[in-house]
Amino acid sequence: MSEFVIPGQSPVSLDLHKCMRKTRGGKIKIAAGSKSGLAIKLTIFILLGLTVYGLLTFDYKNIDLAKAINGTWSNLKVLFGQPRLTYSSFAAAMRALLVTFSLGALSTIFGALIALFGALLCAKNIANPIAANVIKGFVAFIRAVPTILWVLIFTVAAGLGSVAAVIGLTFHSAGYLIKAYAESIEETDGGAIEALKASGASFWQIVSQAILPASISYMIAWTFLRFEINFTNALAVGAAAGAGGIGFDLWMAGSFYFDIRELGYITYIVVAAVILLETIATKIKARVR
Amino acid sequence: MLGKNQTFVNQTPLNQTSVFVKRKRTFTLVFLGTLALFLIAAAATNYDVIGGFESIPKAIGWLAKNFVPNAKAWSRLPDILTKLAETALVSVAVTVCAALGAFFFSLLSARTTKVNRWIGRGVRIIAAFLRNVPDIVWAILLMFSFGQNILTGFFALFFATLGMLTRTFIETIDEVSVACVEALQATGATYLQTVFQGVIPSSLPEIVSWVLYMIETNIRSSTLIGVLTATGVGAMFDLYYKRMDYSAASLVVISIVVLVIAIEIISNQIRKVIM
């Protein structure tokens, strides 16, 4: 026990051993236990528990796993090793790719337009708090419904075709972008808004002179991210809801003609398109920032 | 004094356009670009703009009339909840398994912890490949050998999630643990000591946060894959939908929404505590 005496005051105890936490063996613990550490451990424990429980109780329908894996492996080799078009042509595939690309573009444009106004109505720093909460709740609901279900619902209501696909995809895009845009707007410097308000600027003047210039680069980055997501969603929707485009060709090749080589060829086209989009998006994001 | 000030204002260099003109020009360019893209896209898909707008109120009317759970639909709730639990468990299991694999891969490839330059680069290429092949391609391919089995969806999501999480974990490890890895290496810690005492503790909150996010995403994706592979709650929706039993289908949608929002709220709470 060491004591530290400041002249004129009572001695201060400097017994560090009282503050240390030790293991049973006498080693000093480096990390102190904290609430967040406990929460992380608990979360991981629960997730692992659910995983083990799930893997043990799934209904595997007595599948022969070794045979299935071997089959998939040889299919995989054919898919990527011998791509060939039998039922479709390169030009037709490109046209289908353009359709999928356009479905993604249309839903991104509509989604971004709706989201711009939606975000202005629910960003904390400019909106009426009650209206903001109502809209945020509504948007959370829209985002929770999987895209494919929106498309299938609109297919019944609006008929099969690009309209159902675009509107279905737009719902989810708008929900996603409203949240993203609102967060970008909330990061705008409050001083600029206040200064404009004090000088008597109208709501739209504040929006166009303070909010948009400050947050437009984030918004553009989010929009391109969403466009990438919408492209893959348009693929999926084409396959699962028959909405056309190259996703539908994928589904036809795999589940209708059972032609792995054709599936492989179309997969290569799709992967090339996705990589191209990612590269363009990264370039634009870099230029905007 | 006033005159001096005015000359000062007028002295803007001629070759430097004002901020406002520049802003206007950018805005016009973005607007025209978007308009052109819109016109091309609408032409390529035969998109009927007016019909599209008209269909929205029609669709909402249809939804309000047919898409409401009735008594018969409620009697199906136990079946729906069983399938929903299956889908949720698959999403959790897929994400956790993929996260374990992704963590191992990201250790091999992150700048601070990689063993070898070539292994690091190889892992990055494989991850990019896995990420860019859409999950529906995996689902269609796996259907050939696995058939309409729960494992079809499991592996389809597994590959896509593995690619995605490997990239994010590499970024996380590089971002969070550079300083502590350097410090540990300076004290002469072994590789495994560096990983267990430095990398894991410092990057764990971020990693858990990403895993929670992927579970949310995978529940939505597994619904879609379920429609394709006839498993889980997606197949349930597809079945009722094709039978035109829309009120049961609406109950499926409502239960998915409740599940997704519940998971979102829980993971936001967890994030608040751990970050």
Q: Which of residues 67-126 of B touch A (CB under 8 A)?
A: 67, 86, 89-90, 92-93, 95-97
What's chain A's average pLDDT? 84
User: Nearest Cα to B134, choosing from A242, A273, A259?
Assistant: A273
* DSSP 8-class letter at A187: T
Residue of B47, B201, B257 with shortest CB distance to A166: B47
What residue spans define the domains of chain B?
Answer: 77-274
A234 is in which domain, residue-wise?
88-288
Q: Regarding beta strands A3-4 and A12-13, do their DSSP bridges make them parallel or antiparallel, or are they unpaired?
A: antiparallel
CA dihedral B91, B93, B98, B104 (to 10 degrees): 150
Phi–psi pair at B110, nearest 5 degrees: -65, 145
The verdict on A66 touching B (C-beta cutoff 8 Å) is no
User: Nearest Cα to A94, choosing from A251, A220, A268?
Assistant: A268
pTM of the model: 0.82
Contact A51, B97 (CB under 8 A): yes
A140 lies in a domain? yes
Closest-CA residue of chain A to B256: A145
A237 lies in a domain? yes
A10 lies in a domain? no
Contacts of range A254-258, beta carbons closer than 8 Å, 24 or more positions apart: A254/B140, A254/B141, A254/B143, A254/B144, A255/B140, A255/B143, A255/B228, A257/A86, A257/A87, A258/B144
Cβ distance of B132 and A43 shorter than 8 Å: no
Residue of A79, A145, A163 with shortest CB distance to B257: A145
- Which residues from chain B sit within 8 angstroms of residue A136, using beta carbons? none
Residue B5's pLDDT is 46
Low-confidence stretches of chain B (pLDDT < 70) are: 1-17
How distant is the Cα of B34 from the closest Cα of chain A, in angstroms?
Answer: 8
Cβ distance of A260 and B141 shorter than 8 Å: yes
Contact A103, A168 (CB under 8 A): no
The verdict on B36 touching A (C-beta cutoff 8 Å) is no
Enter the tokens of residue B55. Answer: 């269909």
The CATH number of residue A241's host domain is 1.10.3720.10
Cβ distance of A167 and B47 shorter than 8 Å: no
User: Nearest Cα to B183, choosing from B167, B204, B199, B169?
Assistant: B199
- Interface A–B counts its CB contacts (< 8 A) at 221
| pLDDT 10s digits, A76-110 | 888 888 888 888 888 989 999 999 999 999 999 99
The Cα B141–Cα B95 span in angstroms is 20
Nearby residues of A6 by Cβ (< 8 Å), 6 or more positions away: A12
Could you tell me the fold of the domain covering B77-274?
MetI-like fold (1.10.3720)
Contact B52, A163 (CB under 8 A): yes
Residue A11's pLDDT is 63
Low-confidence stretches of chain A (pLDDT < 70) are: 1-21, 29-33, 288-289
Cβ distance of A47 and B55 shorter than 8 Å: no
Q: Which of residues 144-163 of A touch B (CB under 8 A)?
A: 144-149, 152-154, 156-159, 161-163
- Which residues from chain A sit within 8 angstroms of residue B51, using beta carbons? 163
Phi–psi pair at A199, nearest 5 degrees: -85, 5
